[in-house]
């Protein structure tokens, strides 16, 4: 979850963001490590940029990486603001080979079943629903329902904001595919390059890391029973 960023990083064009992170992914491969998927949060301005597709293709070509190692994260509001054109635009982006994720799900009050009409691969449950598990019965039930429905729709489900073992155990029991949060990797210096080896989960092998906007590194790891 990238949050609301109001910094110099937000003002940089999409090209710099994608090229830089694709380059770090290439460095990981060059070090002989398993492939690492990199996530990039798109702003509304970047999502509306008609040159975005060409920017992605160019960044992947220069880095020598396949598209499936780049995941673009969008918010519900970005795709729901004008659903029909957004669906068409996402389909064009999808043809570059990249993965698409809905970030901070639950904060935009949209239906997961409706969002499944878009060509997305992953839904990320907002950390506000995970924060009070298991104390909050409603948050616990909502999180469980999103995981179950997400899987029935063929989506990978990631839970954000996991901070303790109780939350992790609950998500494991519910079959959540991946978790993200400070429990997995406490603070680290922003700007450092971290290449995390993939970890098996069923047929998947995936581990990702990305710098958080508050100068902390947040790891994403598969959930294990």
The pLDDT score that the predictor gives to residue 33 is 63
Q: For strands 122-125 and 156-159, give the pairing.
A: parallel
| Residue boundaries of the structural domains of the chain | 8-222
Higher-confidence residue of 17 and 31: namely 31
Determine which of 97-106, 150-159, 193-202 has the lowest per-residue pLDDT on average: 193-202
Q: What are 179's strand-pairing partners?
A: 159, 221
pLDDT of 150 > 50? The answer is: yes
Backbone angles phi and psi of 210, in degrees to 5: -150, 150
Q: Mean pLDDT score of the chain, rounded to an integer?
A: 74
Residues 6 or more apart whose Cβ sits within 8 Å of residue 174? 143, 144, 147, 148
Tokens of 139: 């948050």
Q: Which range, 151-155, 180-184, 194-198, 211-215, has the best average confidence (pLDDT)?
A: 151-155
Determine the angle formed by the axes of helices 52-63 and 14-30, rounding to 10 degrees. Answer: 20
Determine which of 50-59, 151-160, 161-170, 189-198 has the lowest per-residue pLDDT on average: 189-198
**124 neighbors 103 (Cβ within 8 angstroms):** yes
Q: What is the pTM for the complete model shown?
A: 0.70
What gap in Å lies between CA 71 and CA 209, rounded to an integer? 12
**208 neighbors 214 (Cβ within 8 angstroms):** no
Helix/strand/coil percentages in the chain, nearest 5: 40, 20, 40
**101 neighbors 131 (Cβ within 8 angstroms):** no
The pLDDT score that the predictor gives to residue 27 is 56
Residue with tokens 């994720």: 101
CATH (one of 3.20.20.70, 3.20.20.450, 3.10.20.30, 1.50.10.10) for 8-222: 3.20.20.450
Closest to 49 in 3D by CA, of 14, 3, 92, 9? 14
What gap in Å lies between CA 82 and CA 225, rounded to an integer? 40
pLDDT of 136 > 70? The answer is: yes
């Amino acid at each position: 979850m990238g949050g609301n960023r109001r910094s110099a990083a937000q003002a940089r064009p999409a090209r710099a963001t994608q090229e830089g992170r694709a380059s770090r992914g290439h460095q990981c491969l060059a070090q002989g490590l398993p492939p690492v998927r990199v996530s990039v949060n798109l702003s509304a301005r970047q999502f509306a940029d008609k040159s975005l597709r060409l920017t992605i293709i160019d960044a992947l070509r220069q880095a020598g990486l396949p598209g499936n190692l780049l995941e673009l994260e969008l918010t519900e509001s970005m795709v729901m603001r004008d659903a029909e054109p957004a669906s068409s635009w996402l389909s064009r982006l999808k043809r570059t080979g990249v993965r698409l994720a809905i970030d901070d799900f639950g904060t935009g009050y949209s239906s997961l079943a409706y969002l499944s009409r878009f060509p997305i691969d992953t839904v990320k449950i907002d950390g506000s629903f995970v924060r009070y598990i298991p104390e909050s019965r409603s948050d616990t039930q909502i999180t469980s329902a999103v995981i179950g429905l997400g899987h029935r729709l063929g989506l990978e489900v990631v839970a954000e904001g996991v901070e303790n073992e109780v939350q992790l155990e609950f998500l494991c029991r519910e079959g959540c595919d991946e978790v993200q949060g400070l429990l997995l990797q406490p603070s680290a210096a922003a700007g450092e390059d971290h290449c995390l080896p993939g970890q098996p989960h069923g047929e998947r092998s995936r581990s990702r890391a990305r710098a958080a906007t508050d100068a902390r590194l947040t790891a994403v790891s598969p959930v294990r029973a």
